[in-house]
Structure 1
Amino acid sequence: MFLFDWFWSILSALGLYQKSGKILFLGLDNAGKTTLLHMLKSEKLGTYSPTQHPNVEELTMGNMNFKTIDLGGHVLARRLWKDYFTSDVSAVVFLVDSADNGRFEEASKELHGLLGYEDLQKVPFLILGNKIDKPQAIGEQQLAYYLKVDGLLTGKQHGIDKDGGRRPVEIFMCSIVNQMGYGEGFQWLSSKF
Structure 2
Amino acid sequence: MYHLAKSIYLYATSKEEYSILLLGLDNAGKTTLLSSIKSLYLPSGPPTAQKTVPTVGQNVSTIDLGDMYLKIWDVGGQHSLRRLWTSYYESCHAVVFVVDSTDLGDGELDGPNESPISRAEIGAGLQDREGGDGDIAGQTGSQHIGRLQECRLVLESVLASSATQGIPILVLANKQDREDCVETVRIKEGLVRRVFEGEKGGGVRDSRVLPISALKGTGVKEAVEWIKSRVQWNKEGRPPVMR
TM-score, length-scaled by structure 1: 0.78
Percent of aligned pairs with the same residue?
35
Provide the rounded CA distance (Å) in 1 between the counterparts of 2:28 and 2:152.
13
Per the TM alignment, residue 148 of structure 1 is displaced from its structure 2 partner at its CA by 4.3
- Aligned residue among 75, 82, 85 for 1:78: 82
What CA distance in whole angstroms lies between the structure 2 residues aligned with 1:48 and 1:57?
A: 15
SS state of the match for residue 56, structure 1?
Answer: strand
Partner of 2:24: 27
Unaligned 5+ segments in structure 2 are 1-14, 39-44, 105-145, 198-202, 232-243
Q: 1:116 aligns with which of 160, 163, 171?
A: 160
RMSD: 1.9
Between Structure 1 and Structure 2, the one with more helix by share is 2
| Structure 1 moving runs of 4+ over 3 Å | 150-153
Per the TM alignment, residue 166 of structure 1 is displaced from its structure 2 partner at its CA by 5.5
Post-superposition offset of 1:185: 2.2
Question: Could you say what secondary structure the match of 2:230 adopts?
Answer: coil
Higher RCO, Cα 8 Å, sep 6+ = 2
Which whole-Å CA distance do the structure 2 matches of 1:26 and 1:125 have between them? Answer: 11
Equivalent residue, structure 1, for 2:94:
91
1:74-129 CA-to-partner distances (Å, cap 9, x unmatched) read 1011111111111x311000000011120121111111111111001011100000
Give the letter for the 1:97 counterpart. D
Deviates more, 1:111-120 or 1:18-27: 18-27
Match of residue 192 from structure 1 = 230
Q: Which runs of 5+ in 1 are unaligned?
A: 1-17, 154-164
TM-score (norm 2): 0.63
Contact 1:128 1:182 in 2 (8 A): no
Which residue number corresponds to residue 36 of structure 1? Answer: 33
Q: How far apart in 1 are the matches of 2:176 and 2:57?
A: 27
Distance, in Å, in 1 between the alignment partners of 2:78 and 2:98 is 13
